[in-house]
Structure 1
Amino acid sequence: MDYEFKKNTLDGTYHAIFSMGHEALGRWLIEEVGRDLEKVEHILSQIGALKNSSREWRQVGEELTLSLQDNEALVQANYLFSEDDTELDDDMHFYDEECMALCGFEDFEQMLQAWRAFVIRF
């Protein structure tokens, strides 16, 4: 999983660009975590508590939900949990790569630590 963090010097916005298949992680990081270092620390502590455990921890956000279980981190768009049976037109479909991503605890933990260091630096 490759990623890059950037800060726009003009307006001060942060950006997290992730490799294909992990785009939802970048979206989650910006929209649900942002520069909230307390939230980063809380998630890192949950990862530590859940390593090699069968327990699950979930953090439901405004748009995306983080689930930690079985040494994996899963980010999913909340609308995926909806029971709405709305069908899309034939030429319309959801782009799954932007609404769901999965990675191991080690990669996820390293990414969060890198994000924390980036936010502290800027």
Structure 2
Amino acid sequence: MEYQFIRDPISGFKVRMSEEHALVGRWLNEELPLKEVSSFIEKMDMVKQGTEELKLEGKEIRLTLSKDEALFEAHTLFQNEVDLSRYEDDFLELDEDGLMAGCGFEDFQALMHDWIRFVQSRR
């Protein structure tokens, strides 16, 4: 998983990620407030030690964290009440690329530890 951390003078701390993991970056940038990163890392440690999964429903993205993987799913994937067939004449369809991303637990844990070190070192 490739990522780059940025401290933007206007928008604050951000992470850029490869296209394959863009949803992970979006979750980190938009769904997890900086003040909650430390407590989230503690929750990650509990997931790694236990058998329980952690599910976090964000505004736009759901994270399901198990001791093996982190799965990110955009809420758009679960919009079943919209009848997409009525848009067929316009050749519109739901593009599921970028609406789901996953990575191994260890990779995600490394990202989170790198993220908190970056943020703390630049405050």
Query: What's the secondary structure of 1:22's corresponding residue?
Result: helix
Mapping 1:71-82, distance limit 5 Å: 71-82=68-79
CA RMSD of aligned residues (A): 2.0
Contact kept? 1:52, 1:71, Cα under 8 Å: no
Query: What's the secondary structure of 1:51's corresponding residue?
Result: helix
Mapping 1:8-23, distance limit 5 Å: 8-9=8-9, 11-23=10-22
Contact kept? 1:44, 1:112, Cα under 8 Å: yes
Match in the other structure for 1:120? 120
Number of equivalenced pairs: 118
Which amino acid counterpart does residue 4 of structure 1 have in structure 2?
A: Q
Contact kept? 2:24, 2:101, Cα under 8 Å: yes
Task: Give the Cα separation in 2 of the matches to 1:3 and 1:59.
Answer: 22
Match in the other structure for 1:27? 26
Q: Structure 1-normalised TM-score?
A: 0.82
Unmatched 5+ residue regions in structure 2? none
Task: Give the Cα separation in 1 of the matches to 2:56 and 2:32.
Answer: 11
Match in the other structure for 2:95? 94
Q: Structure 2-normalised TM-score?
A: 0.81
Query: What's the secondary structure of 1:108's corresponding residue?
Result: helix
| TM-aligned CA deviation for residue 55 of structure 1 | 2.2
Task: Give the Cα separation in 2 of the matches to 1:69 and 1:23.
Answer: 20
| TM-aligned CA deviation for residue 54 of structure 1 | 4.1
Unmatched 5+ residue regions in structure 1? none
Task: Give the Cα separation in 2 of the matches to 1:40 and 1:117.
Answer: 11
| TM-aligned CA deviation for residue 57 of structure 1 | 1.1
Query: What's the secondary structure of 1:33's corresponding residue?
Result: coil
Which amino acid counterpart does residue 108 of structure 1 have in structure 2?
A: F
State the percentage of identical aligned residues.
31
Contact kept? 2:63, 2:73, Cα under 8 Å: yes
Contact kept? 1:53, 1:71, Cα under 8 Å: no
Contact kept? 2:77, 2:96, Cα under 8 Å: no
